Amino acid sequence: MAASIPKAWLEALSRERSASWFTELCTFVEGERARGPVYPPEVDVFAALEHTPLDDVKVILVGQDPYHGPGQAEGLAFSVRQGIRPPPSLVNMFKELAADIGCPAPTSGSLVPWAKQGVLLLNTVLTVREGEANSHKGKGWEKLTDAIIRTASERCAPSVFVLWGAHAKKKKSLVDASRHRVLEGVHPSPLSAHTGFFGSRPYSKINDLLTQMGRPPVEWTLP
């Protein structure tokens, strides 16, 4: 796998980068790409780390794995490329964004503007086979992304960890809750959004927590 961990994270993840399981993971992903489409493109696998350097992190929003449709995934949890129709979970996020803080509907589903403000949009698995959700689960990505979450907990200034749904909530044990704030909630998926995501006002809550910790709030409005 030619894609490499961005320099701003490399030192913190050097032990993981040199581990035998990481080499095996890279070999697996390379083999998958040789057999057929894998998303996101190789250049975007570590886009979340590229857009949000370790020293800039103030919010960590944990997703599961990339979108598996052509042209969708851009290496950020929940985000899709400009020009791509937002998937249902992202549509629900935008609905709650409007209800929570009055943001107008964005013209793009790309969340890069959030990432550039310090919102680490981290999937726990960073690649996926076309058309097969969770197809790269259990191949090693979780070891790396757990290390990323732990590193953010250990090294970052007080931050907000956002855990939506049962999968993300399992990562709570990786976070030092004495230093950071953990915001747990319902996943925005159509299967669950009506059971507590809608009306939860996560965006204003995140900003309130950041302000309490002396950190600047996120400007959630998207283009």
Task: Determine contact, residues 98/109, Cβ cutoff 8 Å.
Answer: no
Q: What angle do CA 72, 73, 74 make, to 5 degrees?
A: 120
Residue with tokens 């998958």: 32
DSSP codes joined into one string, 149-213: HHHHHHHSSS-EEEEEHHHHHGGGGGS-TTTSEEEEE---STTTGGGTTTT--HHHHHHHHHHHT
CA 120 – CA 190 distance, rounded (Å): 23
Supply the residues annotated as catalytic. Answer: 65
SS3 at position 25? helix
* Separation CA 9–CA 151 (nearest Å): 9
From the centroid of its chain, how far is CA 104? 23
Amino acid at site 209: L
For CA atoms 30, 129, 146, 10, the dihedral sign is positive
> 63 — phi, psi (to 5°)?
-110, -170
